[in-house]
Structure 1
Amino acid sequence: MHNFITRSTGTAALAAGLVLAACGSAAAHVSVEAPGAAQGKYTVATFEVPTESDTASTTALRVVVPNLKSVRTEPMPGWTSKVERNDKGETVAVVWSADPGNPGVGPGQFQRFVLSLGPLPAQDTVNFPVQQTYSDGKVVAWDQPSTEGAEPERPAPALALSANGGADGGDHHVATGESPEAQTDTVARWMGGIGLALGLFAAALGLGLVFRSRRSS
Protein backbone atom coordinates (compact mmCIF):
# COMPACT_ATOMS: atom_id res chain seq x y z
CA MET A 1 0.00 0.00 0.00
CA HIS A 2 2.79 2.41 0.91
CA ASN A 3 4.55 1.76 -2.41
CA PHE A 4 1.30 2.43 -4.32
CA ILE A 5 0.81 5.77 -2.59
CA THR A 6 4.40 6.76 -3.18
CA ARG A 7 4.22 5.91 -6.87
CA SER A 8 0.92 7.77 -7.37
CA THR A 9 2.11 10.91 -5.64
CA GLY A 10 5.49 10.82 -7.38
CA THR A 11 3.95 10.43 -10.84
CA ALA A 12 1.60 13.36 -10.37
CA ALA A 13 4.38 15.53 -8.96
CA LEU A 14 6.62 14.64 -11.91
CA ALA A 15 3.86 15.60 -14.36
CA ALA A 16 3.38 18.93 -12.62
CA GLY A 17 7.12 19.56 -12.67
CA LEU A 18 7.35 18.85 -16.39
CA VAL A 19 4.47 21.23 -17.13
CA LEU A 20 6.04 23.99 -15.05
CA ALA A 21 9.37 23.42 -16.76
CA ALA A 22 7.62 23.86 -20.11
CA CYS A 23 6.16 27.15 -18.87
CA GLY A 24 9.64 28.39 -17.96
CA SER A 25 11.01 27.38 -21.33
CA ALA A 26 8.28 29.26 -23.21
CA ALA A 27 8.81 32.36 -21.09
CA ALA A 28 12.55 32.37 -21.94
CA HIS A 29 11.94 33.19 -25.60
CA VAL A 30 12.26 36.69 -26.99
CA SER A 31 8.67 37.79 -27.50
CA VAL A 32 6.63 40.76 -28.74
CA GLU A 33 3.27 42.09 -27.59
CA ALA A 34 1.09 44.77 -29.18
CA PRO A 35 -2.54 44.57 -28.01
CA GLY A 36 -4.91 45.67 -30.76
CA ALA A 37 -2.40 45.36 -33.60
CA ALA A 38 -4.29 45.57 -36.90
CA GLN A 39 -3.46 45.58 -40.58
CA GLY A 40 -2.84 49.05 -41.97
CA LYS A 41 -2.67 50.62 -38.51
CA TYR A 42 0.02 51.94 -36.19
CA THR A 43 0.74 50.24 -32.88
CA VAL A 44 3.16 50.22 -29.95
CA ALA A 45 5.10 46.95 -29.84
CA THR A 46 6.97 45.81 -26.73
CA PHE A 47 9.80 43.31 -27.16
CA GLU A 48 10.60 41.35 -24.01
CA VAL A 49 14.17 40.08 -24.04
CA PRO A 50 15.42 37.66 -21.36
CA THR A 51 19.10 36.89 -20.84
CA GLU A 52 19.47 33.11 -21.02
CA SER A 53 23.23 32.99 -20.41
CA ASP A 54 24.46 32.22 -16.89
CA THR A 55 27.73 34.09 -17.37
CA ALA A 56 27.15 36.90 -19.91
CA SER A 57 24.86 39.91 -20.27
CA THR A 58 22.74 41.06 -23.20
CA THR A 59 24.51 44.13 -24.61
CA ALA A 60 22.82 44.64 -27.98
CA LEU A 61 19.60 43.82 -29.79
CA ARG A 62 18.70 44.09 -33.49
CA VAL A 63 15.05 43.80 -34.53
CA VAL A 64 14.16 43.44 -38.21
CA VAL A 65 10.87 45.12 -39.25
CA PRO A 66 8.94 44.66 -42.53
CA ASN A 67 9.94 47.85 -44.40
CA LEU A 68 7.74 50.23 -42.43
CA LYS A 69 7.03 53.86 -43.16
CA SER A 70 7.38 55.00 -39.55
CA VAL A 71 9.28 53.56 -36.60
CA ARG A 72 10.01 55.47 -33.40
CA THR A 73 12.05 54.28 -30.43
CA GLU A 74 11.33 54.97 -26.77
CA PRO A 75 14.20 56.65 -24.86
CA MET A 76 16.00 54.16 -22.60
CA PRO A 77 18.60 55.34 -20.07
CA GLY A 78 21.89 53.54 -20.65
CA TRP A 79 21.02 52.46 -24.19
CA THR A 80 21.56 53.98 -27.64
CA SER A 81 19.15 53.17 -30.47
CA LYS A 82 19.73 53.35 -34.20
CA VAL A 83 17.12 53.09 -36.96
CA GLU A 84 18.26 51.43 -40.21
CA ARG A 85 16.55 52.48 -43.46
CA ASN A 86 16.65 51.33 -47.07
CA ASP A 87 17.09 53.54 -50.14
CA LYS A 88 13.34 54.29 -50.11
CA GLY A 89 13.50 55.71 -46.61
CA GLU A 90 11.63 52.75 -45.14
CA THR A 91 12.74 51.37 -41.78
CA VAL A 92 14.15 47.85 -42.08
CA ALA A 93 15.64 47.33 -38.60
CA VAL A 94 16.28 48.90 -35.21
CA VAL A 95 19.42 48.34 -33.13
CA TRP A 96 19.83 48.97 -29.40
CA SER A 97 23.33 48.99 -27.87
CA ALA A 98 24.32 49.30 -24.23
CA ASP A 99 26.22 52.52 -23.52
CA PRO A 100 29.77 52.42 -22.09
CA GLY A 101 29.54 51.66 -18.40
CA ASN A 102 26.18 49.94 -18.77
CA PRO A 103 26.65 46.20 -18.08
CA GLY A 104 23.52 45.36 -20.07
CA VAL A 105 20.83 42.87 -19.14
CA GLY A 106 22.43 40.50 -16.66
CA PRO A 107 21.88 36.76 -16.15
CA GLY A 108 18.45 36.04 -14.73
CA GLN A 109 17.13 39.44 -15.88
CA PHE A 110 15.06 40.73 -18.79
CA GLN A 111 14.54 44.06 -20.52
CA ARG A 112 11.67 45.57 -22.51
CA PHE A 113 12.40 47.42 -25.76
CA VAL A 114 9.51 49.52 -27.09
CA LEU A 115 8.72 50.70 -30.63
CA SER A 116 5.95 52.77 -32.13
CA LEU A 117 5.56 51.52 -35.68
CA GLY A 118 3.33 51.32 -38.72
CA PRO A 119 1.38 51.19 -40.87
CA LEU A 120 1.42 47.41 -40.38
CA PRO A 121 1.33 45.21 -43.50
CA ALA A 122 -1.86 43.64 -44.84
CA GLN A 123 -1.17 40.10 -43.65
CA ASP A 124 -2.41 37.84 -40.86
CA THR A 125 0.93 37.53 -39.07
CA VAL A 126 4.10 39.58 -39.10
CA ASN A 127 7.46 38.24 -37.88
CA PHE A 128 10.21 40.33 -36.29
CA PRO A 129 13.51 38.40 -36.55
CA VAL A 130 15.87 39.32 -33.70
CA GLN A 131 19.61 39.10 -33.11
CA GLN A 132 20.59 39.12 -29.43
CA THR A 133 24.25 39.90 -28.69
CA TYR A 134 25.95 38.93 -25.41
CA SER A 135 28.92 40.49 -23.64
CA ASP A 136 31.05 37.43 -24.42
CA GLY A 137 30.54 37.96 -28.16
CA LYS A 138 27.90 35.28 -28.67
CA VAL A 139 25.05 36.19 -31.03
CA VAL A 140 21.72 34.36 -30.77
CA ALA A 141 19.32 34.62 -33.72
CA TRP A 142 15.62 34.44 -32.96
CA ASP A 143 14.50 34.13 -36.58
CA GLN A 144 12.86 30.74 -37.12
CA PRO A 145 9.22 30.87 -38.32
CA SER A 146 6.69 28.93 -36.26
CA THR A 147 4.72 26.14 -37.92
CA GLU A 148 1.38 24.63 -36.98
CA GLY A 149 1.69 22.10 -34.18
CA ALA A 150 5.40 22.69 -33.52
CA GLU A 151 7.52 25.53 -32.19
CA PRO A 152 11.12 25.89 -33.40
CA GLU A 153 14.05 26.16 -31.03
CA ARG A 154 14.59 29.87 -31.76
CA PRO A 155 11.21 31.25 -32.88
CA ALA A 156 11.03 34.74 -34.34
CA PRO A 157 8.78 37.07 -32.32
CA ALA A 158 5.46 37.30 -34.16
CA LEU A 159 2.30 39.38 -34.02
CA ALA A 160 -1.15 38.28 -35.17
CA LEU A 161 -2.83 41.18 -36.97
CA SER A 162 -6.57 41.69 -37.07
CA ALA A 163 -8.13 42.55 -40.43
CA ASN A 164 -10.23 45.51 -39.25
CA GLY A 165 -7.51 48.03 -39.95
CA GLY A 166 -7.26 50.24 -42.99
CA ALA A 167 -4.65 52.59 -44.37
CA ASP A 168 -5.87 55.73 -42.62
CA GLY A 169 -2.42 56.24 -41.13
CA GLY A 170 -3.78 56.97 -37.66
CA ASP A 171 -1.05 56.78 -35.02
CA HIS A 172 -3.20 55.20 -32.33
CA HIS A 173 -4.34 51.88 -30.84
CA VAL A 174 -7.28 49.92 -32.18
CA ALA A 175 -9.42 47.09 -30.81
CA THR A 176 -7.70 45.01 -28.16
CA GLY A 177 -6.13 41.65 -28.97
CA GLU A 178 -3.57 39.16 -27.70
CA SER A 179 -0.26 38.19 -29.29
CA PRO A 180 0.68 34.53 -29.92
CA GLU A 181 3.30 34.71 -27.13
CA ALA A 182 0.73 35.95 -24.64
CA GLN A 183 -1.64 33.16 -25.70
CA THR A 184 1.13 30.58 -25.29
CA ASP A 185 1.96 31.93 -21.85
CA THR A 186 -1.72 31.78 -20.80
CA VAL A 187 -2.04 28.16 -21.94
CA ALA A 188 1.19 27.24 -20.17
CA ARG A 189 -0.07 28.77 -16.92
CA TRP A 190 -3.31 26.78 -17.15
CA MET A 191 -1.35 23.59 -17.79
CA GLY A 192 0.87 24.31 -14.81
CA GLY A 193 -2.20 24.78 -12.61
CA ILE A 194 -3.69 21.51 -13.83
CA GLY A 195 -0.43 19.69 -13.08
CA LEU A 196 -0.34 21.06 -9.55
CA ALA A 197 -3.99 20.13 -9.03
CA LEU A 198 -3.23 16.55 -10.11
CA GLY A 199 -0.40 16.40 -7.59
CA LEU A 200 -2.62 17.57 -4.75
CA PHE A 201 -5.33 15.10 -5.79
CA ALA A 202 -2.85 12.22 -5.75
CA ALA A 203 -1.61 13.23 -2.30
CA ALA A 204 -5.19 13.44 -0.96
CA LEU A 205 -5.98 10.04 -2.48
CA GLY A 206 -2.94 8.54 -0.79
CA LEU A 207 -3.94 9.90 2.61
CA GLY A 208 -7.46 8.53 2.17
CA LEU A 209 -6.08 5.08 1.41
CA VAL A 210 -3.89 5.22 4.52
CA PHE A 211 -6.86 6.10 6.75
CA ARG A 212 -8.97 3.32 5.25
CA SER A 213 -6.15 0.84 5.76
CA ARG A 214 -5.83 1.81 9.45
CA ARG A 215 -9.59 1.50 10.03
CA SER A 216 -9.76 -1.95 8.47
CA SER A 217 -6.76 -3.27 10.47
Structure 2
Amino acid sequence: MKKPINIAIDGPAGAGKSTIARQLANRLGILYLDTGAMYRAVGLKALRTNTDMRSEPDLERMLNQTVLDIQFGPNGQQVILDGVDVTDAIRSSDVSRAASDVSAIPAVRHRLVEMQRCIAEQRDLVLDGRDIGTYVLPDAPFKFFLTADVKERARRRLNDLQARGETNLSLSDVIDEVSYRDQQDSSRSMAPLKQAEDAILIDTTGLTIEEVIGRVLAQLRPQQL
Protein backbone atom coordinates (compact mmCIF):
# COMPACT_ATOMS: atom_id res chain seq x y z
CA MET A 1 0.00 0.00 0.00
CA LYS A 2 1.30 3.45 -0.94
CA LYS A 3 2.54 5.48 2.00
CA PRO A 4 0.58 8.74 2.46
CA ILE A 5 2.29 11.93 1.30
CA ASN A 6 2.67 14.47 4.10
CA ILE A 7 3.81 18.06 3.52
CA ALA A 8 4.95 19.87 6.67
CA ILE A 9 4.71 23.66 6.95
CA ASP A 10 6.08 25.20 10.15
CA GLY A 11 6.68 28.72 11.32
CA PRO A 12 5.81 31.36 13.93
CA ALA A 13 2.41 32.98 14.44
CA GLY A 14 1.25 35.11 11.52
CA ALA A 15 3.80 33.82 9.01
CA GLY A 16 1.02 32.70 6.68
CA LYS A 17 1.18 28.98 7.41
CA SER A 18 -2.55 28.32 7.54
CA THR A 19 -3.38 30.32 4.42
CA ILE A 20 -0.60 28.73 2.39
CA ALA A 21 -1.22 25.22 3.71
CA ARG A 22 -4.96 25.42 3.01
CA GLN A 23 -4.52 26.72 -0.53
CA LEU A 24 -1.68 24.30 -1.27
CA ALA A 25 -3.86 21.39 -0.18
CA ASN A 26 -6.63 22.64 -2.48
CA ARG A 27 -4.22 22.88 -5.42
CA LEU A 28 -2.95 19.35 -4.81
CA GLY A 29 -6.37 17.88 -4.12
CA ILE A 30 -5.47 16.60 -0.65
CA LEU A 31 -6.59 17.43 2.89
CA TYR A 32 -5.28 20.19 5.14
CA LEU A 33 -4.72 19.56 8.86
CA ASP A 34 -4.45 22.67 11.04
CA THR A 35 -2.66 21.24 14.08
CA GLY A 36 -2.73 24.60 15.86
CA ALA A 37 -6.52 24.35 15.99
CA MET A 38 -6.13 21.29 18.21
CA TYR A 39 -4.10 23.26 20.77
CA ARG A 40 -6.62 26.08 20.53
CA ALA A 41 -9.41 23.62 21.37
CA VAL A 42 -7.55 22.48 24.47
CA GLY A 43 -6.91 26.12 25.40
CA LEU A 44 -10.60 26.89 24.96
CA LYS A 45 -11.57 23.98 27.21
CA ALA A 46 -9.08 25.16 29.84
CA LEU A 47 -10.55 28.68 29.74
CA ARG A 48 -14.11 27.42 30.02
CA THR A 49 -13.32 25.10 32.92
CA ASN A 50 -10.95 27.51 34.72
CA THR A 51 -8.19 24.91 34.53
CA ASP A 52 -4.70 26.08 35.51
CA MET A 53 -2.87 26.18 32.18
CA ARG A 54 0.53 25.96 33.86
CA SER A 55 -0.37 22.80 35.82
CA GLU A 56 0.36 19.57 33.99
CA PRO A 57 -1.64 17.39 36.44
CA ASP A 58 -4.67 19.69 36.15
CA LEU A 59 -4.49 19.74 32.35
CA GLU A 60 -4.04 15.98 32.21
CA ARG A 61 -7.17 15.50 34.33
CA MET A 62 -9.03 17.86 32.03
CA LEU A 63 -7.85 15.98 28.94
CA ASN A 64 -9.05 12.70 30.42
CA GLN A 65 -12.52 14.24 30.55
CA THR A 66 -12.32 15.74 27.05
CA VAL A 67 -13.40 14.34 23.69
CA LEU A 68 -11.60 16.08 20.82
CA ASP A 69 -12.41 15.08 17.26
CA ILE A 70 -11.12 16.38 13.94
CA GLN A 71 -13.47 15.98 11.00
CA PHE A 72 -13.02 16.81 7.33
CA GLY A 73 -16.08 18.08 5.49
CA PRO A 74 -16.94 20.10 2.36
CA ASN A 75 -15.82 23.30 4.11
CA GLY A 76 -12.55 21.84 5.32
CA GLN A 77 -11.46 20.90 8.82
CA GLN A 78 -13.94 21.02 11.69
CA VAL A 79 -12.91 20.91 15.34
CA ILE A 80 -15.41 19.11 17.56
CA LEU A 81 -14.91 19.59 21.30
CA ASP A 82 -17.06 17.46 23.59
CA GLY A 83 -19.59 17.03 20.81
CA VAL A 84 -19.78 20.74 19.89
CA ASP A 85 -18.32 22.37 16.77
CA VAL A 86 -15.86 25.01 18.03
CA THR A 87 -14.16 25.70 14.68
CA ASP A 88 -15.02 29.41 14.89
CA ALA A 89 -14.95 29.78 18.69
CA ILE A 90 -11.23 28.89 18.89
CA ARG A 91 -10.09 31.89 16.82
CA SER A 92 -10.21 34.65 19.45
CA SER A 93 -7.11 36.36 20.83
CA ASP A 94 -7.80 34.96 24.33
CA VAL A 95 -7.83 31.43 22.96
CA SER A 96 -4.66 32.15 20.99
CA ARG A 97 -2.80 33.00 24.18
CA ALA A 98 -4.29 30.00 25.99
CA ALA A 99 -3.18 27.73 23.15
CA SER A 100 0.39 28.96 23.54
CA ASP A 101 0.28 28.26 27.28
CA VAL A 102 -1.13 24.73 27.06
CA SER A 103 1.13 23.79 24.14
CA ALA A 104 4.14 24.14 26.45
CA ILE A 105 2.84 21.31 28.65
CA PRO A 106 4.33 17.89 27.69
CA ALA A 107 1.16 15.94 28.53
CA VAL A 108 -0.82 18.09 26.12
CA ARG A 109 1.75 17.80 23.34
CA HIS A 110 2.02 14.01 23.77
CA ARG A 111 -1.75 13.61 23.50
CA LEU A 112 -2.19 15.85 20.48
CA VAL A 113 0.92 14.69 18.62
CA GLU A 114 -0.36 11.13 18.92
CA MET A 115 -3.62 12.25 17.29
CA GLN A 116 -1.76 14.13 14.55
CA ARG A 117 0.44 11.17 13.69
CA CYS A 118 -2.56 8.87 13.58
CA ILE A 119 -4.35 11.16 11.12
CA ALA A 120 -1.21 11.56 8.98
CA GLU A 121 -0.71 7.80 8.73
CA GLN A 122 -4.09 7.39 7.07
CA ARG A 123 -4.16 10.00 4.31
CA ASP A 124 -2.27 12.50 2.17
CA LEU A 125 -2.06 15.79 4.08
CA VAL A 126 -0.64 19.26 4.21
CA LEU A 127 -0.02 19.96 7.90
CA ASP A 128 0.91 23.26 9.45
CA GLY A 129 2.16 23.97 12.94
CA ARG A 130 5.31 24.75 14.85
CA ASP A 131 6.93 21.33 15.24
CA ILE A 132 5.63 19.24 12.34
CA GLY A 133 8.96 18.82 10.55
CA THR A 134 11.06 18.53 13.70
CA TYR A 135 8.92 16.40 15.99
CA VAL A 136 5.51 15.30 14.72
CA LEU A 137 6.66 14.00 11.33
CA PRO A 138 10.46 14.23 11.19
CA ASP A 139 10.50 11.92 8.16
CA ALA A 140 8.02 13.94 6.10
CA PRO A 141 9.29 14.09 2.48
CA PHE A 142 8.51 17.79 2.10
CA LYS A 143 9.24 20.39 4.77
CA PHE A 144 8.90 24.16 4.67
CA PHE A 145 9.51 26.84 7.29
CA LEU A 146 7.70 30.14 6.74
CA THR A 147 8.67 33.32 8.51
CA ALA A 148 8.08 37.07 8.22
CA ASP A 149 8.87 40.34 9.96
CA VAL A 150 7.07 40.58 13.32
CA LYS A 151 5.16 43.74 12.33
CA GLU A 152 4.02 42.10 9.12
CA ARG A 153 2.86 39.05 11.04
CA ALA A 154 1.03 41.22 13.56
CA ARG A 155 -0.73 43.15 10.77
CA ARG A 156 -1.94 39.90 9.22
CA ARG A 157 -3.16 38.64 12.58
CA LEU A 158 -4.96 41.92 13.29
CA ASN A 159 -6.69 41.77 9.90
CA ASP A 160 -7.87 38.22 10.67
CA LEU A 161 -9.20 39.25 14.08
CA GLN A 162 -11.00 42.30 12.70
CA ALA A 163 -12.56 40.17 9.96
CA ARG A 164 -13.97 37.97 12.74
CA GLY A 165 -15.44 40.98 14.53
CA GLU A 166 -12.75 41.39 17.22
CA THR A 167 -12.15 45.12 16.86
CA ASN A 168 -10.95 46.07 20.35
CA LEU A 169 -7.25 45.38 19.68
CA SER A 170 -4.61 47.75 18.30
CA LEU A 171 -1.62 46.82 16.16
CA SER A 172 0.56 47.36 19.24
CA ASP A 173 -1.57 44.87 21.21
CA VAL A 174 -1.19 42.26 18.49
CA ILE A 175 2.56 42.83 18.18
CA ASP A 176 2.77 42.10 21.92
CA GLU A 177 0.65 38.96 21.48
CA VAL A 178 2.73 37.69 18.56
CA SER A 179 5.99 38.41 20.39
CA TYR A 180 4.66 36.57 23.46
CA ARG A 181 3.79 33.54 21.35
CA ASP A 182 7.22 33.63 19.69
CA GLN A 183 8.90 33.59 23.10
CA GLN A 184 6.66 30.83 24.44
CA ASP A 185 6.95 28.66 21.36
CA SER A 186 10.71 29.01 21.00
CA SER A 187 11.60 28.45 24.66
CA ARG A 188 9.43 25.49 25.65
CA SER A 189 11.41 22.42 26.68
CA MET A 190 9.53 19.95 24.49
CA ALA A 191 9.53 20.36 20.68
CA PRO A 192 10.26 24.11 20.59
CA LEU A 193 9.62 26.16 17.47
CA LYS A 194 12.63 25.89 15.18
CA GLN A 195 13.41 25.24 11.55
CA ALA A 196 14.11 21.60 10.69
CA GLU A 197 17.57 21.15 9.20
CA ASP A 198 16.11 19.83 5.95
CA ALA A 199 13.25 22.35 5.72
CA ILE A 200 13.15 24.98 2.99
CA LEU A 201 13.02 28.51 4.43
CA ILE A 202 10.65 31.03 2.84
CA ASP A 203 10.44 34.61 4.13
CA THR A 204 6.91 35.72 3.27
CA THR A 205 7.43 39.40 4.14
CA GLY A 206 6.10 41.47 1.25
CA LEU A 207 5.10 38.43 -0.80
CA THR A 208 1.61 37.74 -2.09
CA ILE A 209 -0.11 34.44 -1.37
CA GLU A 210 0.38 33.42 -5.01
CA GLU A 211 4.10 34.18 -4.83
CA VAL A 212 4.52 32.01 -1.73
CA ILE A 213 2.45 29.18 -3.23
CA GLY A 214 4.60 29.38 -6.36
CA ARG A 215 7.80 29.03 -4.35
CA VAL A 216 6.43 26.02 -2.49
CA LEU A 217 5.17 24.29 -5.63
CA ALA A 218 8.54 24.85 -7.31
CA GLN A 219 10.17 22.74 -4.60
CA LEU A 220 7.77 19.80 -4.76
CA ARG A 221 9.07 16.87 -6.79
CA PRO A 222 6.20 15.59 -8.96
CA GLN A 223 7.49 12.02 -8.90
CA GLN A 224 7.02 11.93 -5.12
CA LEU A 225 3.47 13.27 -5.12
State whether TM-score is above 0.5: no
- After TM superposition, the score normalised by the length of structure 1 is 0.28
- After TM superposition, the score normalised by the length of structure 2 is 0.27
Please identify the structure whose Cα radius of gyration is greater. Answer: 1
| Higher fraction of strand | 1
